[in-house]
């Protein structure tokens, strides 16, 4: 049969080779079809991608309407700054350099108040400094004669740009004045070099500064008046949210392990991963928050740096939860009897730890020291103590030389390997409780510092209050 088929195919093949017309006809049909199919596939694929992209964008907007509001704010600020062009006196006032105001708005407008203020203040200060310096350098250059002028200007640009660029690498400068250093280079180069072509250099510097001030003040007005988003508030909420996640993950993991339930929400269990990955955003938020004036319950000079310490403490807990998770998913299954023996105390430790974290979250949220905190920590410690005792009594299950004979007869001896996962889990739980105590310490520091700052601010405001009262009299 098989050989017959082969023969048949072979015959057909030879026929095709001989018959030229059929051979010529087939490939174009194939090609046209291929091209058509490929084009169709490409278009539908592209359509699919575009649809996915739009859906993603829509979901993002629906999940966080503040992003949409931010976009409208940018559009608004740009439309307002465009008025400079449409109003003759304003346009002439800045010597046709109105585009710098637009540029400022586009470049400076950030989603949060802190980031916008950081950029605005940096931009204004750096522009003023660089403008004055550039006018000075131009004066020196013009004194040195036509021949040397380009060299003096060129050398000054080279040196100052190099130094300013280098300063951007220094951590303390980078965190506070990175943008300012860039604007310094920009303005200095433009103003210094324009001196060679522009006659009224002082006017140029003046126009640049005034357009930038127009742009930045408009930005500050819009960002603070229309639904402001404060970096500080964001950092605060992120910290509270992360604490809740940490607490849910911890409790969820341990409960799932001891009750063998898979009903727990997986997203809830993985919440600690958010804590692990939020270092960068915490740092940038803390960085911007210190530029913000007092808002809501936060004064200017609120101890934002303390949030970073809390974040670090939370991450150190999250590392342990990661290790805990690996115990839970380990191949080495624990004996049920041992699990039962330790489950009560382990669950007690995890629930008391997680309620301690929840209380901490509440304490941060309300920014006051919780009266229950000491009690909860004590409860956690007593649960840990209980777990210690249970671990000690575990040896009775393995070591009949002690007195607890009756216990053994009830549960039977178990192989040592089968107690390892539970023991590891228990000791990681104990470690987590120690780390939670460190977390309690850093939260208390935050609350104390914030209360202290509040008092200082209240004191500083008092004399002003008296002054106002006097004026009214």
Span 382-411, contacts to a copy of itself by CB under 8 A: 388, 391-392, 394-395, 398-401
Q: Does 133 bind a copy of itself (CB under 8 A)?
A: no
* Of residues 269-328, those binding a copy of itself (CB under 8 A): 276-277, 279-280, 316, 319-320, 322-323, 326-327
From the CB of 57, what's the least distance to a copy of itself, in Å?
Answer: 6
Q: Which of 36, 139, 148, 166 binds a copy of itself (CB under 8 A)?
A: 166
Q: Which of 90, 220, 404, 423 binds a copy of itself (CB under 8 A)?
A: 423
Size of the site for a copy of itself (CB under 8 A): 84
Q: Which of 107, 129, 328, 367 binds a copy of itself (CB under 8 A)?
A: 107
Residue 145 or 415: the one with the smaller Cβ distance to a copy of itself is 415
Q: Does 330 bind a copy of itself (CB under 8 A)?
A: yes
From the CB of 219, what's the least distance to a copy of itself, in Å?
Answer: 13
From the CB of 167, what's the least distance to a copy of itself, in Å?
Answer: 8
* Of residues 50-79, those binding a copy of itself (CB under 8 A): 53, 56-57, 60-61, 67-68, 70-72, 74-76, 78-79
Reduced 3-state DSSP string for the chain: CHHHHHHHHHHHHHHHHHCHHHHHHHHHHHHHHHHHHHHHHHHHHHHHHHHHHHHHHHHHHHHCHHHHHHHHHHHHHHHHHHHHHHCHHHHHHCCCCCHHHHHHHHHHCCCCHHHHHHHHHHHHHHHHHHHHHHHHHHHHHHHCCCCCHHHHHHHHHHHHHHHHHHHCCCHHHHHHHHHHHHHHHHHHHHHHHHCCCCCCHHHHHHHHHHHHHHHHHHHHHHHHHCCCCCHHHHHHHHHHHHHHHHHHHHHHHHHHHHHCCCCCCHHHHCCHHHHHCCHHHHHHHHHHHCCCCCECCECCCCCHHHHHHHHHHHHHHHHHHHHHHHHHCCCCCCCHHHHHHHHHHHHHHHHHHHHHHHHHHHHHHHCCCCCCHHHHHHHHHHHHHHHHHHHHHHHHHHCCCCCCHHHHHHHCCCCHHHCHHHHHHHHHHHHHHHHHHHHHHHHHHHHHHHHHHHHHHHHHHHHHHHHHHHHHC
Q: Does 82 bind a copy of itself (CB under 8 A)?
A: yes
Q: Given the rule CB under 8 A, which of 18-26, 39-47, 153-161, 464-472 is the region that contacts a copy of itself?
A: 153-161
Q: Does 421 bind a copy of itself (CB under 8 A)?
A: yes
Q: Does 147 bind a copy of itself (CB under 8 A)?
A: no
Q: Does 347 bind a copy of itself (CB under 8 A)?
A: no
């Amino acid at each position: 049969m098989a050989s017959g088929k082969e023969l048949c195919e072979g015959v057909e093949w030879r026929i095709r080779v001989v018959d030229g017309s059929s051979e010529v006809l087939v490939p174009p049909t194939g090609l046209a079809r291929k091209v058509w199919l490929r084009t169709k596939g490409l278009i539908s694929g592209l359509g699919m991608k575009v649809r996915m992209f739009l859906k993603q964008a829509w979901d993002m907007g629906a999940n966080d309407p503040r992003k949409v509001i931010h976009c409208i704010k940018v559009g608004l600020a740009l439309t307002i700054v465009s008025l400079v062009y449409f109003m003759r006196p304003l346009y002439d006032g800045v010597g046709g350099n109105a585009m710098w105001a637009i540029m400022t708005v586009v470049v400076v407008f950030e989603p949060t108040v802190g980031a916008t203020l950081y950029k605005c203040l940096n931009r204004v200060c750096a522009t003023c400094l660089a403008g004055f310096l550039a006018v000075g350098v131009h004066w020196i250059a013009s004194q040195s004669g036509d021949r040397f002028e380009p060299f003096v200007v060129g050398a000054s640009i080279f040196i100052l740009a190099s130094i300013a660029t280098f300063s951007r690498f220094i951590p303390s400068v980078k965190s506070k004045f990175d943008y300012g250093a860039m604007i310094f280079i920009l303005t200095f180069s433009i103003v210094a070099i324009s001196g060679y072509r522009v006659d009224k250099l002082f006017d140029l510097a003046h126009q640049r500064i005034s357009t930038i001030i127009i742009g930045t003040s408009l930005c500050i007005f819009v960002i603070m008046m229309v639904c402001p988003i404060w970096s500080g508030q964001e950092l605060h909420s992120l910290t509270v949210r992360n604490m809740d996640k940490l607490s849910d993950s911890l409790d969820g993991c341990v409960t799932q392990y001891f009750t063998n339930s898979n009903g727990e929400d997986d997203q809830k269990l993985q919440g600690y991963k958010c804590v692990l990955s939020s270092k960068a955003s915490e740092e940038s938020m803390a960085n911007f928050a210190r530029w913000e004036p007092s808002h809501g319950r936060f004064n200017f000079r609120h101890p934002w740096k303390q949030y970073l310490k809390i974040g670090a403490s939370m991450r150190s807990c999250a590392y342990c939860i990661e290790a805990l998770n690996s115990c839970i998913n380990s191949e080495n299954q624990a004996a049920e009897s041992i699990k039962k023996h330790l489950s009560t105390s382990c669950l007690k430790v995890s629930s008391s730890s997680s309620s301690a974290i929840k209380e901490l979250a509440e304490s941060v949220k309300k920014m006051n020291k919780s009266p229950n905190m000491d009690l909860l920590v004590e409860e956690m410690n007593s649960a840990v103590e209980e777990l210690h005792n249970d671990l000690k009594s575990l040896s009775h299950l393995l070591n009949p030389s002690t007195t607890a004979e009756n216990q053994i007869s009830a549960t039977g001896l178990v192989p040592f390997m089968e107690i390892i996962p539970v023991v590891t889990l228990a000791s990681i739980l104990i470690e987590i409780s120690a780390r939670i105590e460190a977390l309690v310490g850093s939260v208390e520091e935050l609350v104390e510092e914030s209360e202290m700052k509040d008092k200082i601010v209240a004191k500083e405001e008092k004399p002003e209050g008296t002054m106002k009262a006097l004026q009214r009299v």
